[in-house]
Structure 1
Amino acid sequence: MRKGLLFATAALSAALLSTVTACGSSGSGSGSGSGSAGGKKPKIGVILPDSKSSVRWETADRPYLAAAFKAAGVDYDIQNAEGDKQAFQTIADQMITSGVNVLIIVNLDSGTGKAVLDKAKTQGVATIDYDRLTLGGSAQYYVSFDNDQVGKLQGQGLTKCLSDMGAKNPVVAELNGSPTDNNATLFANGYNSVLDPLYASGEYTKGPNQSVPDWDSAQAQTIFEQMNTSAPNIGGVLAANDNLANAAIAVLRKNHRNGQVPITGQDATVQGLQNILAGDQCMTVYKAVKKEADAVSALAVELAGGKKGQTSVTVHDPTGNRDVPAALLTPEAIVKNNIQDVITDGFVTKAQLCTGDYDALCTKAGIK
């Protein structure tokens, strides 16, 4: 995978991104801007996956996208499939019928995503895979973070936490993301590139390793309870996101081992950051969603105006055996000492994070 950033035309990006503000769209998530470039006003459709696997889709992506489209003066329709594959396809059909000329999707799985993308293509609708690549799909562009690097940061974070604790030959359990999400595969590629050499050398012992269907935290807790039963000496947990990490922490807490077993995460959720402050989670990975939303918005507005997106990087789709023009943004590892970065960036507020017992922990961590 070659890495880099996608750039829209300078004038468009500057005009669009400098005016983006964080506000939500009203009603069902559709809305429109004012003005048009003549003829039929461009319309952009966005299908988000759910609100269960991560809160980001509704608390961050939706308002950032809506603000960008409003600023650009285009019609838009943002809907959430809430984990329902049939609903995902129905929403796509409705959007295509309503006349969207650009469709942005975050797929639930590659099969459903491919069906939607292929139908949009036959109707002359420009398509963008957002955050997750649809394997075997036909999206013209892909906008995401460097997900291999996300996994590497998790692997490196876990090794540092284990080293800081003086762990000797720890048993490491891996709680992977959904097997239908290509990002989960990329995360695993990244963290296993760090952990596999340590397993091979005998420095670490590879413990239970299992994927969590649909990133579901309830299933994750059941899975980790089974892991803990089969390997009660687990010394570290590579959890693929904060929700999965919290599920593992709940099990460890019942066994009075929370805080004694380093656990990774991802998404820099309020819960994940609070777990870090409490010492129950050692790190998370912050992905600046606003930058991702800005990048896909700028690209979509260009395509909606009949222009061709300008890219300088591609990502290989092994299923479709094709290279997809892409934008890959840079993730950041977050530990207790730099939680302030997430607050300064506006992704999480101090008021959200530093509530109740966490207020004193925030003060101790120097959070302003």
Structure 2
Amino acid sequence: MRKGLLLTTASVALLTTLTACGNSSSGGDSSGSGGKKPKIGVILPDSKSSARWETADRPYLAKAFKAAGVDYDIQNAQGDKQAFQTIADQMISSGVNVLVIVNLDSGTGKAVLDKAKAQGVATIDYDRLTLGGSAQYYVSFDNTVVGKLQGEGLSKCLSDMKAKKPVVAELNGSPTDNNATLFAQGYNSVLDPKYSSGEYVKGPNQSVPDWDNAQAGTIFEQMLTSEPRIGGVLAANDGLGNAAIAVLRKNHRNGQVPVTGQDATVQGLQNILAGDQCMTVYKAVKKEADATARLAVALAKGKKGQTNGSVKDPQGGRTVPSVLLTPVAVYKDNVKDVVNDGYVTKAQLCTGRYAALCAKAGIQ
């Protein structure tokens, strides 16, 4: 476990930069827990692994906190574990009475959560469960179901292409992210029986450190070199899927090999419209952000949080009260639903050559 950082001259400089990247608001009342004025801190993980953190989560959370009239501070650690801890120290010192985190790994997340708990700050794991951590609540989608939808999606696309005994490669998410483990449990529950029966051939299978898209491209290129017969790719999110698609395109095989994804990013949806990606999984981030904001605001005002389920922390052995939401599989024929829901706009999606594809897909 890494201990809290001392604010040296260098880390003060870093803190100043990080604070400038934050987003805060004044307002609210003084009825927070422990007599504190309600103030909520949120630490997002990065903007590299998925565009969603800055394009969706940040604005949705900010809007919900503003509507509730509470002070808030949203910052992004940009993949830096030291920065993550520094931001947490600064937020706790500034008087937040609720801390919401998307951990970079469980070790760093646990150190931050334990420190917050020791200071009487309520804590929420957002989107990712911190294994062995001490968060009082967890808000996310049912991530095993996310993976199951991916496995079913790849199977559907392989069936549509009438693929015979396809070699399936798996590009898994970061080995330090518990969500990646849950996704894999979900899609392997669909794929493993097909491997066992001989319907599919189990191909290369590798995790991508830190969900890094550049590394994913290198890893998949090595996969394709070692096994040129790859006929399907279970990619754990749209960024990894796009990395695989780029390699397939270079080898003139894009559109011939189904590739999955997750997050319903603009890039992922465009790949689906173009026929290069089989499917993605839409997680209505606004619902996740709104649920988290409601829970955080209640806690900040000294009230009890409302949940609809629980998850078991396999490392800590404890049951964590949770708000769990339902994901949706997206194929070419229902891309329009993601637009209609307001998650992406027609202007963002239907640019250049995608305008005609959008029209064909019924996107108004």
The interval holding the TM-score normalised by the smaller chain is: over 0.9
- 1:294 aligned to 290, 293, 309, which one? 290
Residue 329 of structure 1 corresponds to: 325
- AA of the residue aligned to 2:41: G
Unaligned ranges ≥5, structure 2: 1-18
SS in 2 for 1:339: helix
Please give the secondary structure, in 2, of the residue aligned with 1:243: helix
In 2, the alpha carbon distance for the partners of 1:182 and 1:323 equals 15
The answer (yes or no) to whether the contact 2:175–2:207 under 8 Å persists in 1 is yes
Q: Which of residues 215, 220, 226 is equivalent to 1:224?
A: 220
Q: Distance in 2 between matches of 1:40 and 1:46?
A: 17
CA distance in 2, matches of 1:321, 1:347: 36
Cα distance in 2, alignment partners of residues 32 and 332 from structure 1 = 33
User: Could you tell me which residue of structure 2 aligns to residue 363 of structure 1?
Assistant: 359
Structure 2: which amino acid aligns with 1:328? L
* TM-superposed deviation, 1:125: 0.3
Match of 1:201 in 2: 197
Partner of 1:66: 62
Measure how far apart 1:144 and its partner are.
0.3
- Does the Cα contact within 8 Å between 1:268 and 1:285 map onto a contact in 2? yes
Equivalent residue for 2:8? Answer: none
C-alpha separation in 1, matches of 2:202 and 2:149: 19
Q: Distance in 2 between matches of 1:141 and 1:272?
A: 31
Amino acid of the structure 2 residue aligned with 1:34: G
Residue 21 (structure 2) aligned to one of 28, 44, 51: 28
CA distance in 2, matches of 1:251, 1:356: 23
- Which residue does the alignment assign to 1:236? 232
1:100 counterpart (96, 100, 117)? 96
C-alpha contact 2:28 2:38 (8 A) present in aligned 1: no
The separation in 2 between residues aligned to 1:177 and 1:40, in whole angstroms, is 39
User: What amino acid maps onto 1:318 in structure 2?
Assistant: P
Preserved contact between residue 33 and residue 69 of structure 1 (Cα < 8 Å): no
In 2, Cα distance between equivalents of 1:124 and 1:252: 51
Pick aligned residue for 2:153 from 152, 157, 160: 157
Q: CA deviation at 1:37?
A: 4.4
**Within 5 Å, which residues of 2 pair with 1:83-232?**
83-232=79-228
Counterpart mapping for 1:244-323 below 5 A: 244-323=240-319
Which whole-Å CA distance do the structure 2 matches of 1:170 and 1:268 have between them?
25
**Amino acid in structure 2 at the alignment position of 1:247:** A
Alignment partners' CA distance in 1, 2:263 and 2:42: 21
2:127/2:141 contact within 8 Å kept: yes
Contact 1:33–1:72 (CA under 8 A) maintained in structure 2: no
Find the aligned partners of 2:55 and 2:105 in 1 and give their Cα distance: 22
Q: Is the 8 A contact 1:33 1:71 kept in 2?
A: no
Paired amino acid for 1:125: V
C-alpha distance in 2, partners of 1:34/1:116?
26
The amino acid of 1:316's aligned partner reads K
1: distance between equivalents of 2:261 and 2:115?
36
Which of 335, 338, 341 pairs up with 1:339? 335
Give me the TM-score of the superposition, normalised by structure 1: 0.92
TM-score normalised by structure 2 residue count: 0.93
Cα contact 2:284–2:343 (8 A) shared by 1: yes
TM-superposition CA deviations, 1:261-320 (whole Å, max 9, x none): 000000001100010011000100000000000000000000001112132311000100
| Distance across 2 between alignment mates of 1:340 and 1:295 | 24
Structure 1: distance between partners of 2:129 and 2:108? 12
**Letter in structure 2 aligned against 1:215:** W
Deviation string, structure 1 residues 131-166 (Cα, Å, up to 9, x no partner): 000000000000000000000000000000000000
Cα deviation for residue 90 of structure 1 reads 0.3
TM-aligned CA deviation for residue 342 of structure 1:
0.5
Counterpart CA distance in 2 for 1:257 and 1:266 is 21
SS in 1 for 2:75: strand
8 Å CA contact 1:129, 1:139 repeated in 2: yes
Q: Deviations over 1:10-38 (max 9, x none)?
A: xxxxxxxxxxxxxxxx9633322434145
Distance 2:347 2:66 in 1: 28
Determine the C-alpha separation between the residues in 2 that align with 1:88 and 1:31: 17
